[in-house]
Amino acid sequence: MKPEERQKIIGALNEDVGLELGAVIQYLWHHYMAEGMESPAVIGLFEKLARDEMKHLEGFAERVVALGGEPTTQIAPVKKGGDLKKMVRDDLEGERNAIQVYKGHIRLAAELGDTTTRLLLEEVVATEEDHAGIWETTLGIKPGE
């Protein structure tokens, strides 16, 4: 891979690192702050998904280093506040955004012939789609609503 192509991939992966950092913080904040009669069932989901996002973060950061870069510490915006339903909606929105961004980065990796990064992103997208499905089911909505 040419140096400028490597930098494009590192830049894309660092955007992904920032998204995952934000997701971990948001999920943990929701885990700590969730209240109400329905919260016991959802609190565990917030914590589990935070752990999944930590694994994604680790994979992206390790790939940045393997490509000769340095993982960012720039955190994507974190949404907080509101009732339990708002928290879940905010998390669903975050998952959908991550899926869209990562799919773009999959195309970039494919164009540049970076199979390792493409496969990593495809794996993560599959998990993020599962997360979105969990929140859609929790909210009682159909995919894409």
Structural domain contains residue 145: no
Q: How many independent structural domains does the chain possess?
A: 1
The alpha carbon of residue 68 and the mean position of all alpha carbons in its chain are separated, in whole angstroms, by: 22
Structural domain contains residue 124: yes
**pLDDT reported for residue 37:** 65
Q: Alpha helices, DSSP H only, in the chain? A: 3-33, 39-66, 84-111, 115-139
What distances in angstroms separate CA 56 from CA 20, 34, 35, 94, 98, one per listed residue? 7, 24, 27, 14, 11
**pLDDT reported for residue 56:** 98
Q: For residue 135, what are the domain limits?
A: 3-139
C-alpha 97/C-alpha 28 separation (Å) is 19
Over residues 54-113, the pLDDT tens digits come to: 999 999 999 999 999 999 999 999 999 888 999 999 999 999 999 999 999 999 999 999
Tell me: pLDDT of 144 over 80.
no
Structural domain contains residue 95: yes
Structural domain contains residue 47: yes
The CATH number of whichever domain residue 45 belongs to comes to: 1.20.1260.10
42-61 average pLDDT score? 95
pTM of this structure: 0.94
Looking at 31-40, 44-53, 124-133, which range is the least confident one? Answer: 31-40
